[in-house]
Structure 1
Amino acid sequence: MRFPFMRFPLRLPGFIPRETLLMALGSLHAHKFRSFLTVLGIVIGITTAISIASILTGLRGQIVKIIEEYGTNNIYAYHLTTGPQVGERDQKERARKPLTPEDAEAIRTGASHVQDVAQVSPNIGYWGGAFDDTVSYNGKNYRRGNTQGVTPNYGGITNVTLREGRFFTEFDDASRRNVMVIGVNAADALFPNPNNIVGREVKMGGHVFEIIGVLEKRKNGVFGENEEDNHVLVPFRTGLKIAPGRRYLELN
Structure 2
Amino acid sequence: MIRNILLSTLLSLKAHKLRVFLTMIGIIIGIAAVVTVSSLGEGMREETLSLINAADANAVKITYQSEDSSNEQMYSSESSDFTFSKADMKRLNRIPGVSSVTADFGDSYGMNSSVQSTYSNGDYFGSFFGTQLAAYQKDAPLEIGRNLLKTDEGNNVIVLSGDIVEALSYEMDVTAADLVGSAVNIDGYMFKVVGVKQPIVYDEFGNSAESADYTWNDMATSDVPQTAFTLLTAAKPINAIQLKVSDDTDRASVVSSAVSQLMENYPDVEGYFEEDTSNQQMIDEFNDYLSSMILFLMAITAISLLVGGIGVMNIMYVSVSERKREIGIRRAIGAKPRDIWLQFMLEAVIITFIGGFIGLSLGYGIAQIVSSVVGMPATLTTQTMLISTSVSVLTGLIFGIIPAINAAKINPIKAIYN
TM range (shorter): 0.5 to 0.7
How far, CA to CA, are the matches of 1:194 and 1:212 in structure 2? 10
Matched with 1:137 is: 124
Matched with 2:95 is: 111
Is the alpha carbon distance of 1:142 and 1:133 closer, same or farther for their aligned partners in structure 2, counting shifts above 3 Å? Answer: same
Residue deviations 1:107-148 (CA, integer Å, cap 9, x gap): 23x2354454333435289xxxxxx944343576544x2245
* Partner-residue secondary structure (3-state), 1:47: helix
* Partner-residue secondary structure (3-state), 1:41: helix
**AA partner of residue 229 (structure 1):** M
Question: 1:47 and 2:41 equivalent?
Answer: no
Shift of 1:44: 0.5
Q: Is the 8 A contact 2:162 2:196 kept in 1?
A: yes
- Could you tell me which of 18, 22, 39 is aligned with 2:12? 22
- Aligned runs of 1:1-252 on 2, under 5 Å? 17-19=7-9, 22=12, 29=19, 35-59=24-48, 62-63=51-52, 67=55, 75-79=59-63, 87-89=71-73, 97-108=82-93, 110-123=94-107, 133-138=120-125, 141-143=128-130, 145-147=131-133, 155=136, 159-161=137-139, 164-166=146-148, 172=154, 180-186=158-164, 192-194=175-177, 197=180, 199-205=181-187, 207-211=189-193, 223-224=208-209, 226-233=216-223, 235-241=229-235, 244=236, 246-251=237-242
Shift of 1:103: 1.3
Shift of 1:104: 1.3
**AA partner of residue 51 (structure 1):** L
**AA partner of residue 192 (structure 1):** T
* Partner-residue secondary structure (3-state), 2:59: coil
Residue deviations 1:59-78 (CA, integer Å, cap 9, x gap): 356557x64xx9x7x53434
Is the alpha carbon distance of 1:39 and 1:21 closer, same or farther for their aligned partners in structure 2, counting shifts above 3 Å? Answer: farther
Shift of 1:208: 3.5
Matched with 1:8 is: none
Comparing both chains, which one has the higher relative contact order based on Cα–Cα distances under 8 Å and sequence gaps of 6 or more? Answer: 2
**AA partner of residue 182 (structure 1):** L
Q: Is the 8 A contact 1:120 1:250 kept in 2?
A: yes
Q: Is the 8 A contact 1:124 1:133 kept in 2?
A: no
Structure 1 runs not aligned, ≥5 long: 1-13, 126-131
Shift of 1:168: 8.3
Shift of 1:16: 5.2
Say which one has the larger Rg.
Answer: 2
Is the alpha carbon distance of 1:103 and 1:249 closer, same or farther for their aligned partners in structure 2, counting shifts above 3 Å? Answer: same
* Partner-residue secondary structure (3-state), 1:79: strand
Is the alpha carbon distance of 1:223 and 1:229 closer, same or farther for their aligned partners in structure 2, counting shifts above 3 Å? Answer: closer
Q: Is the 8 A contact 1:79 1:97 kept in 2?
A: no
* Partner-residue secondary structure (3-state), 2:63: coil
Shift of 1:202: 1.1
Residue deviations 1:215-248 (CA, integer Å, cap 9, x gap): 68899x964261342223551332344xx5x442
Shift of 1:105: 1.3
Shift of 1:183: 3.0
Q: How many equivalent pairs are there? A: 202
How far, CA to CA, are the matches of 1:169 and 1:114 in structure 2? 29
How far, CA to CA, are the matches of 1:142 and 1:107 in structure 2? 35
Q: Identity, % of aligned pairs?
A: 13
Shift of 1:203: 2.8
* Partner-residue secondary structure (3-state), 2:175: coil
Q: Is the 8 A contact 2:64 2:82 kept in 1?
A: no
Structure 2 runs not aligned, ≥5 long: 110-118, 169-173, 211-215, 244-418
**AA partner of residue 146 (structure 1):** Q
How far, CA to CA, are the matches of 2:150 and 2:232 in structure 1? 11
Matched with 2:384 is: none
